[in-house]
Amino acid sequence: MRKITTFILAVFLISGIKAQTTYTINIDQPEQEIIRGHLDLGGSNPAGEEITVNSYYIEKDGKPFFPIIGEFHYARFDEKYWEEEVLKMKAGGINTIATYVFWNLHERKEGIFDWTGDLNLKKFLELINKHQLYAIVRVGPFCHGEMRNGGLPDWLYGRTFEVRSNAPEYLDYVDRLYGEIGKQTVGLLYKDGGPVIGIQLENEYQHSSAPWEFMYPGSKKDGTVPDREAAFSHTQITVTDGVNPWSEYGKQHMVNLKKLAKKNGLDTPIYTATGWGNATIVEKGSLPVTAGYAYPFWSDPRPSSFYLFKDIRKKPDYSPVSYNTDLYPSISAEIGPGIQVKYSRRPVVDYRSVNPLMTRIIGSGSNGIGYYMYHGGSTPVLEGKYYNEEANGIPRINYDFQAPIGQYGQVRYHFKHLRMLHLFLDAYADVLAPMKTVLPETNTGIKADNTETLRYAVRSYGNSGFLFIINFQDHIDLKNIEDVHIDIHAKNETFSFPSIGTFDVNETTSAILPFNLQLEKALIKSATVQPLTILKKTEMNYYVFHSITGIDAEINFPTDTKISKLNNARVTMVNGIRKVSSNTSGPFSFTANETSILVIPEDMAVNATKINEDLYISDALILKDTNKLQLITRETENQIHIFPAQKRDLAASSANIKKANTLHKGFDSYTVTFDEIKPDVVIEKATSRKYTLQLQSIISNLNDVFVDIDYIGDRGLAFIDGKMITDHFYHNRTWELSLKNFASELNDNQMVFVFHPMYSDYSYLKDLNEVPEFIKGKYLEIKDFKVIPEYKTVISL
């Protein structure tokens, strides 16, 4: 046999034909057992809609509901602009917004609560409700979130009782806090017809703590935990040994918190508690939520395990855990699509890493995903006090987090790429959620530093399912995996990807490929394109897929399928199947058994969003605001392509809109142009490391003006009239700053930038992708200031 194999390989080499690597996986395995009625969770609203939780997924009216949760802290953003940011999150595919209630911001002086301005929780929840999203309110009392004392007020430190304990005095304070939060949520809970479907109790309880700010240079940190738990409490998320001598005490504390929440009206279908690293939950009374940070600032940079498929429900990341995993679905609350930098550590998140990370988590069996942070912000300065976690070296104001939506609402690369995934989940959650995870035999042999072997898994139910593929690993050089062929063996049939031959899996690729997927009258046997969304129109439904860069697009049907209305597509017979593929690289469409199918290239899908059951494709950001659209862009000329084509009379404010050449049959295309506006901003050098910015006139007819600062150094600080307005720790990316938030202050004042040099012995240099050549042990270079206008128009339909 060895001689035959060697001979075949030699033939391949001589002939120039590449030898394929065939991967196989057997999905003929027992289905996932689903338990119902065992959890003290669930509830209904006045319309009779019901949310329940089984052991495998959340249900809404008896059907799977897949929460896509984005963290956004209302207190870290100007309330004047909350609504636009909520619309951005909705446009990104978020269906649930999570937010912390930071106790120390609201009760800065004991007994006096502040819910005004940027602290107006009620207004924030009302906006979420207005735009038909759900909310999870993380009520603490301990939150962390890189906040001063983890969100606990300073005045608690000098008390005789211990915080995060069952001391009656402490629980009395929690009772009062929950009572005040309860007043803010009246009428906004799910039971009252509002958006709040969930309450998170505490955070990382009996796992980690934050440092009290009552410390001195050189002193050890004093954590926000009872003394008895200090020995096994961590400063950040980590794997533990699973030993908790105070487990029973902790379980009672979580039960106490839930009782106090319900006593104060915080009664929701779902209660969550962070469950990673042996953290304590309310047994059978809260959902344990999971986490995953591939670029943490609290450990040395090294390849993580978060890009390796696993059965994530049975063995969550940061195991061991304190609960019986068979009783709960796997739902994450804190997957890091970015990370905060701190003074001594500056991890740089590769934005291309986030989609593969999420694909791995879903393919591993998660039935809900949550991002921390999905939207960055700025921690407020109140009465002259900074509230970011200075003891851990967090920037005093900047909480950008390298998030999909940045500190000032900037939409980034991973916002668009995650939106593709969210569209898929929105359309196919009911199909996906009951599916078990099946891993190939090769999976156990893959380690984080192995970039040679394909990483893949299947989620299936019966003979139907999805093939999940990724080619990414953090903190390591990547390369393409060439000549891949995958066979999925089900009962009595095999599905091949591709149908014949091989494909290459490019570095950073993530893909979700269907097999035995029923679309009305048509059955897709297999496909090398990813489902994107379903457009449910009155006359018919349209099933939209997108190709994967580097992989030839094909959709395969049984031989008796009637294929018609082909546009830029052809049909061939391959191995007893009817294969539809494209003629050129652009979109292609057809009907299969009268079912309408559209396939668009990945670079179009990245710019696609679903609005009113239409598909809008544009480089610009398009937001749905009740009965109109908002278009936000930094370009003066923008294209919009809308599918399906129909008679539309579009009008735009502050811009010109006109019909353009059609992108593809079935689309309407438009061009939106703005008159160029050059903001009247003057930037001058004051000293070798200080610059001034003067706004000569108010910002008008623009949505915002950004200043993009390209420098290499240690940090930059910005001031107006001697008051620091933000700060930036250098981490290989330019510093982005919005002027909209400060326009009124800049009418009579200038902005002053102060830069500090980087030194060759700084500990964070190991995080940077590029390190400068130091001159006499230090380096500072201020390269450029770019002033970038951001345009906005309202489009009436």
Query: Which two structure tokens, joined as six digits, stand for 221?
Result: 């940190």
One domain, residues 717 and 631 = no
One domain, residues 362 and 292 = yes
Out of 57-61, 577-581, 582-586, 695-699, least confident range: 695-699
The last residue of a domain, from among 620, 649, 673: 673
In whole angstroms, how far apart are CA 298 and each of 340, 393, 513?
A: 10, 12, 36
Q: Is there a domain that residue 597 lies in?
A: no
pLDDT in tens, 780-790: 999 999 999 99
Give the max Cα distance, the chain. Answer: 85
Q: Taking a C-beta distance cutoff of 8 angstroms, is the pair 254, 286 a contact?
A: yes
Contacts of 719 (CB under 8 A, 6+ apart): 725, 751, 752, 753, 754
Q: Is there a domain that residue 145 lies in?
A: yes
The CATH number assigned to the domain holding 399 equals 3.20.20.80
pLDDT in tens, 734-762: 999 999 999 999 988 999 999 999 999 99
Task: Write phi, then psi, for 71 (nearest 5 degrees).
Answer: -85, 130
Q: Alpha-carbon torsion 386, 387, 393, 397, what sign?
A: negative
**Residue of 693, 747, 752, 700 lying closest to 722 (CA atoms):** 752
Helices (H), 16-118: 82-91, 103-106
One domain, residues 650 and 753 = no
Helices (H) and strands (E) in the chain, counts: 9, 51
Q: Is there a domain that residue 584 lies in?
A: no
Q: Is the confidence at residue 8, as pLDDT, over 60?
A: no
Strands 196-201 and 134-140: parallel
One domain, residues 90 and 172 = yes
Query: Which two structure tokens, joined as six digits, stand for 791?
Result: 């345009």
In whole angstroms, how far apart are CA 770 and each of 77, 395, 686, 755, 767?
A: 31, 21, 28, 19, 9
One domain, residues 663 and 688 = no
pLDDT in tens, 436-456: 999 999 898 899 999 999 999
Task: Write phi, then psi, for 428 (nearest 5 degrees).
Answer: -120, 15
Q: Give the total number of structural domains in the chain.
A: 3
Q: Is there a domain that residue 523 lies in?
A: no
One domain, residues 669 and 693 = no
Q: Is there a domain that residue 198 lies in?
A: yes
**Residue of 677, 672, 680 lying closest to 656 (CA atoms):** 672
Q: Is the confidence at residue 612, as pLDDT, over 80?
A: yes
Q: What's 709-760 look like in SS3? A: EEEECCEEEEEECCEEEEEEECCCCCEEEECHHHCCHHHCCCEEEEEECEEC
Q: Is there a domain that residue 442 lies in?
A: no
- What's 188's DSSP letter? T
Confidence grade of residue 141 (pLDDT, cut at 50, 70, 90): very high
pTM (2 d.p.): 0.97
Residue indicated by tokens 């510093």: 735
Cis peptide before 141 (omega within 30 of 0): yes
Cross-sheet strand order for the sheet of 569-574: 436-438, 455-461, 464-470, 510-519, 522-527, 554-558, 577-582, 569-574
One domain, residues 262 and 376 = yes
Q: Taking a C-beta distance cutoff of 8 angstroms, is the pair 657, 670 a contact?
A: yes
One domain, residues 735 and 614 = no
One domain, residues 663 and 751 = no
Query: Which two structure tokens, joined as six digits, stand for 220?
Result: 């050890």
The last residue of a domain, from among 639, 673, 707: 673
One domain, residues 669 and 763 = no
**What is the structure's pLDDT at 647?**
87
Mean pLDDT of the chain: 95
Q: Is the confidence at residue 700, as pLDDT, over 90?
A: no
One domain, residues 664 and 688 = no
Share of the chain above pLDDT 90, in %: 94
Distance from C-alpha of 694 to C-alpha of 683, rounded to nearest angstrom: 6
One domain, residues 646 and 789 = no
Distance from C-alpha of 362 to C-alpha of 446, rounded to nearest angstrom: 19
Task: Write phi, then psi, for 348 (nearest 5 degrees).
Answer: -110, 110
Contacts of 551 (CB under 8 A, 6+ apart): 498, 503, 504, 505, 509, 511, 528
The last residue of a domain, from among 400, 431, 462: 431
Beta bridge pairs of residue 669: 641
Q: Is there a domain that residue 669 lies in?
A: yes
Contacts of 248 (CB under 8 A, 6+ apart): none
The domain in which residue 724 lies consists of 681-796
Q: Is there a domain that residue 497 lies in?
A: no
pLDDT in tens, 213-272: 999 999 999 999 999 999 989 999 999 999 999 999 999 999 999 999 999 999 999 999
**What is the structure's pLDDT at 621?**
98
The CATH number assigned to the domain holding 789 equals 2.60.120
Distance from C-alpha of 53 to C-alpha of 32, rounded to nearest angstrom: 15
Please work out, in degrees rounded to the nearest 5, the angle formed at the alpha carbon of residue 96 by the alpha carbons of 92 and 98. 110
What's the average model confidence in pLDDT over 202-207? 98
Q: Within 10 A of 484 (CB to CB), how many other CB atoms are there?
A: 21
